[in-house]
Structure 1
């Protein structure tokens, strides 16, 4: 599979915006106490802030991604870690309990891992493409 440069750039921007806007909206600008309550490891307010920072990093390389192919590999690893963490969380927690306490937190927990799995695949494909084409 070969993704065109323009689409890759848009993918990086979309990934960044998903991180930034997703966290800010669902955490209600870090004021939602329910999100950190249900995952004190990854979703503390500090953890949420770091997700926003990652979003800024994704956007910052959107037009020069081909110059930092190994960093794109790191992006794939980062997304794999969050996606795996979410999958484990979903297997060991009750989503309806989060929804009962706060709808925004429930929606966040319901979707953030799907986003991370999708962008893991995107970053992995881009990384493999860069390695193969030796860009």
Structure 2
């Protein structure tokens, strides 16, 4: 798959929407206590709010993304941190017990890390794309 500027722009929009929408829907606008209880450090309501803020940042850079290579690099780092945190959480916790307590929380814990792995790769590819463009100037 070849990255185009339009595809990158849509991907950045999608990452922002996923952060904002995913948190708001699955946390039921910060009222789903099962999400908080399953990982009280990363997924406290403050942590969830910060994920929404990251989503807003993703959306905010869309008009100038081509000039923000290092910000895109930070996005890749942010995503790998969440992806690794999720992977560690999965290895040390019982996902089925989260589903038993609340299906929405179970779905959240099933997909949030996959989403972060996907967008980590996406932002890394965009960073490489911008680095190549810069090199060819």
1:53 aligns with 2:87: no
Where does structure 1 differ by over 6 angstroms across 4 or more consecutive aligned residues?
none
Q: What's the CA shift for 1:41?
A: 1.4
Structure 2: where are the runs of 5+ without partners? none
Q: What's the CA shift for 1:59?
A: 0.8
Contact 1:23 1:52 in 2 (8 A): yes
Match of 1:72 in 2: 72
For residues 131 and 42 of structure 2, what CA distance do their matches in structure 1 show? 31
Match of 1:31 in 2: 31
Contact 1:2 1:129 in 2 (8 A): no
For residues 52 and 76 of structure 1, what CA distance do their matches in structure 2 show? 16
Match of 1:63 in 2: 63
Query: Which stretch shifts more, 1-10 or 72-81?
Result: 1-10
Deviations 1:3-43 (A, max 9, x none): 11011000000000000000000000000001010111110
Alpha carbon RMSD of aligned pairs, Å? Answer: 1.0
For residues 90 and 116 of structure 1, what CA distance do their matches in structure 2 show? 14
For residues 41 and 5 of structure 1, what CA distance do their matches in structure 2 show? 37
Structure 1: where are the runs of 5+ without partners? none
For residues 94 and 111 of structure 2, what CA distance do their matches in structure 1 show? 14
Question: How many pairs align?
Answer: 135
1:131 aligns with 2:136: no
For residues 130 and 40 of structure 2, what CA distance do their matches in structure 1 show? 36
Q: What's the CA shift for 1:66?
A: 1.1
For residues 94 and 62 of structure 2, what CA distance do their matches in structure 1 show? 36
Q: What's the CA shift for 1:63?
A: 2.2
- TM-score between the two structures when normalised by the length of structure 2: 0.96
Q: What's the CA shift for 1:2?
A: 4.1
